[in-house]
Amino acid sequence: MLKNIDPALNPDVLHALRSMGHGDTLVISDTNFPSDAIARKTTLGTLLRIDNVSAARAVEAVLSVLPLDMPLQPSAGRMEVMGAPDEVLPVQQEVQAVIDRAEGKSAPMYGIERFKFYEEAKKAYCVITTGETRFYGCFLFTKGVIPPKT
């Protein structure tokens, strides 16, 4: 165990998050997402896991160390529900609440059409799959920066 590091963050995930640069994206996916196939096309090229937790719990762990690029652009996206792109499902509401807490303000997610999400995921730095079993528990995050202390 390490001090101030969420225990859900395993060494592989921590290494990937630290290796990412400003503007790189990462996917946090549910169990139905083609995680391994998509992960093979990412920069990292291998699937990462935060097993046996919900998408919201995995996002909470990741956002405990990863800055979002919020001041410059919307930096948290959700896979849209097919046929109902404006519908925000409970799994997505839970993740939205985690994002808002991490940012200390409302930071609404943007929607990404399902097949566009797959294409964007292939361009990501990495894919982290979770134990989330609910549909549409797939999210895309853009890494921001940590400003220097003045």
Which residue among 24, 30, 69, 136 is the active-site one?
Answer: 69
Tokens of 121: 């995921």
Give residue 60's region: left, alpha or beta (phi > 0; psi -120 to 50).
alpha
Residue 86 appears among annotated catalytic residues: no
Q: Which of these is catalytic: 24, 30, 118, 136?
A: 118
* 118 counts as catalytic: yes
Enumerate helices (H) and strands (E) in the chain, giving the number of each. Answer: 5, 6
Active site residue 136: no
Element (DSSP H or E) covering residue 90: helix 90-103
- The catalytic residue among 22, 36, 51, 110 is 22
Residues marked as catalytic: 22, 69, 118
